[in-house]
Structure 1
Amino acid sequence: MHLTAFTDYSLRVLLYLGNQPENKLSSIKEIAAIYNLSTNHLSKIVFELGKLELIETNRGRNGGIKLKKPANEINIGWVIQQTEENLELVECFNKTNNACILTAACRLKHVLNEALVAYLDVLSSYTLEDLLLNKEELQSIFHLEANKN
């Protein structure tokens, strides 16, 4: 299973915001600099995370972004399922465009589906809070990266 860059960076944004003090607003520019991403690309990610009600966005001069929910309420498996456009591991998972001649008799698709379900089950057993148990270590990395820019 390969996660898209969109999902990867969505999780990174959540990790960054989850590591900030509760009422601190962060900027897209600040996060883009930390992760060396374009602000344009990050804006799209932040927009989607806002639509998913994971982050709160405040526009204007004193605006910024922060987590909308507590970290223990943000389920990693759910985030991945919302940000990945396609969890079809093989062609036969797509009922519309499946042209595989083995589909009717193939047992591989069942094994792959079982693996996908297990993968998502494991991810769903974690929250953002679980990924922030090493806040001090993450904070020092974010601080080092911010000072590079």
Structure 2
Amino acid sequence: MRLTSFTDFGLRVLMRMAGTPDRAFTTAELAQEFAISRNHLAKVISALAAAGYLETRRGGGGGAVLSHLPEDIRLGDVVADLEAGQSIVECFLPDGGSCTLMPQCRLKSRLAKAEKAFIADLNKSTLADCLYRPAPAD
């Protein structure tokens, strides 16, 4: 299974924040650190906040902070939330796609089980298991 870059950066944001939980991070600061577009990261942070993983504050001294302790954030839940609406195959699309093998195809149910197992396995780990602490500056 391949995760979208959106989910990849969502996980990075959470790991980075969990490694330094006593401070707020701005979108600009994280975008520079990760060397990605500020606009793209703003969408990631907005999705994380909408899913309840982050609290955001505007203005001076603002930024984003974790809404929960790292040990209370399950990795599989984060991936499922950020990958919502992304189909691993065409027949998982809401309209069923245009696969000519349906309804006789027996692959779809196996892929659905594998996707559930993937999320369940990730849920055995929490954000606390993946803390990131940057090396101290010289």
Q: Which residue pairs with 1:103 in the alignment? A: 102
Distance 2:122 2:128 in 1: 13
Q: Aligned residue pairs: how many?
A: 138
User: Displaced runs of 4+ in structure 1, greater than 6 A?
Assistant: none
Q: Any residues of structure 2 matched to 1:1-149 within 5 Å, and which?
A: 1-20=1-20, 22-94=21-93, 96-132=95-131, 135=132, 138-140=133-135
Offset at residue 99 of structure 1 (A): 2.7
- Offset at 1:87? 4.2
Larger of the two Rg values belongs to structure? 1
Query: Identity rate of aligned residues, in percent?
Result: 34
1:55, distance to aligned residue in structure 2 (A):
1.1
Other structure's SS at 1:60 match = coil
* Aligned-pair CA distance for 1:124: 1.6
Offset of 1:82 from its aligned partner? 1.0
Compare the two structures and name the one with the higher helix fraction. Answer: 1
* Distance in 1 between residues matched to 2:60 and 2:94, nearest whole Å: 48
CA 1:104–1:40 in structure 2 vs 1: closer, same or farther (change >3 Å)? closer
Give the aligned residue type for 2:3: L
1:113 deviation in Å?
1.8
Q: Which runs of 5+ in 1 are unaligned?
A: none
